[in-house]
Chain A
Amino acid sequence: MDLILSPIPAPLKALPNAPSATPASPSLGDLGFTPQQSQPNAQLQVLLDKRTEMLKIHQRLGLITTIPMAAALITGPMATAKGKNGQPITEPTTANLDFHAALGGATTALYFTSAYYAIRAPRVPGTEKHGAIRLHEALAFIHLPGMVLTPALGIMAYKQENAGEKVHGIASAHGAVAYTTAAAYGASIIAVSWPIHWKFWEK
């Protein structure tokens, strides 16, 4: 067996200009992230800022909407004629009717303004939605048509009441549609708040 001996290379310290044999401190470039992951994207930041701003307004208006909505639900029975067919009917006072109608109007205006900010908030490309936001958005398929129908039926009911008639026909569904809409709306708020940490005084 022939063995070849090579001279041992001189230590690199002897060559001051030679690259160091010891690995340099690790740098971000060593880790293998793609430019898409590691490069700043100023446009995306602007888009996210605008999105957050619009969704904050949506959230605030959405919460404010619950106040006239709850008040309209409470005053609803006071704006309805009472009494069975064939018996004397007690008409609601004009004040009660007008107050309930004003609350309904305020609810509708606030609701659609809030909805505008949610719908117009910019979408982030390449984002697949998951989590509570999906239920929050799905419930809009109930309360959005509900918020169109409720005032429409309310106007019909208001006209019938003012004409001295007992509310009849499709207008008589006003209350049921309003309760369903409010329930879906409340569920939508709870959906994005869930799971709620009830013992908020504990860490």
Chain B
Amino acid sequence: MKKIFLLALLLAAPPVFAQLDTQWVIEQSTLTYHMSHPMHQVDGVSRDAKGKGVCHAEECDFLIATPVKSFDSGDTNRDLHMIEATRGAQFPMVVVRTRFPVGDTASATIYADLEVQFAGQTAHYAHVPFQRATQGNQVRLTGTILATCSDFKIDRPSFLTVPIKNEIPVRVDITWRPM
């Protein structure tokens, strides 16, 4: 009788585990900002982003962060100028939070509402599309956040007295794995 009861319990167990919250961490990431100047096109890359995601019964809650100084544009002087212009010593982290319904995680394109904290300011980007690709148990998300300097009240750095363009799109390429 005991054995039958335990068997019944074990058979009932999988749905219980399936209902548990799933957590995700970043396996690898590449965040690239693009800066345009009449004389220059520059990409700054960070591969140091860390992130965690928690999917509850109905909603997923993700947090991604990277140090401002982790962006490398290929020139130390320019990177230090970027940190200065974005007040990166005072506000050393770029933090992105997003929530989306669990149901969206199965779609090929996830539309996320992002809250980005950067340079001491918070900007919101609604309905940002991210392409989703599954690789084994990992999920790769790619997309572009159409950020601007003015979103974060950044005084645009200038070169040869000409300021950079206001647009600084950030390309996101993050692979997540379940914890």
Contacts and interface: CB of A to CB of B under 8 A. Distances in A.
Interface residues of A, number: 45
Given A23-B54, A192-B77, A200 B39 contact: yes
Given A5-B2, A25-B63, A193-B160, A31 B51 contact: yes
B90 A42 contact: yes
Nearest to B57: A22
A51 B84 contact: yes
A98 interface: no
Contacts of A124: 80
Interface in B1-54: 2-3, 5-6, 21, 23, 36-41, 50-54
A22 B95 CA distance: 23
B25 to A, nearest CB: 9
B83 interface: yes
B80 A25 contact: no
B101 interface: no
Interface residues of B, number: 45
Contacts of A132: 74-75, 77
A193 B67 CA distance: 27
A40 interface: yes
A49 B39 CA distance: 24
A84 interface: no
A57 to B, nearest CB: 12
Interface of B: 2-3, 5-6, 21, 23, 36-41, 50-54, 56, 61-63, 65, 67, 73-78, 80-81, 83-85, 87-93, 95, 159-161
27 contacts: A5-B2, A5-B5, A25-B54, A26-B52, A26-B54, A28-B63, A31-B50, A31-B65, A37-B92, A37-B93, A40-B91, A40-B92, A41-B92, A42-B89, A42-B90, A45-B87, A45-B89, A45-B90, A52-B80, A55-B77, A131-B78, A132-B75, A192-B77, A193-B159, A195-B40, A196-B39, A200-B39
The 4 closest A-B CB pairs, nearest first, are A131-B75, A44-B89, A48-B84, A26-B52
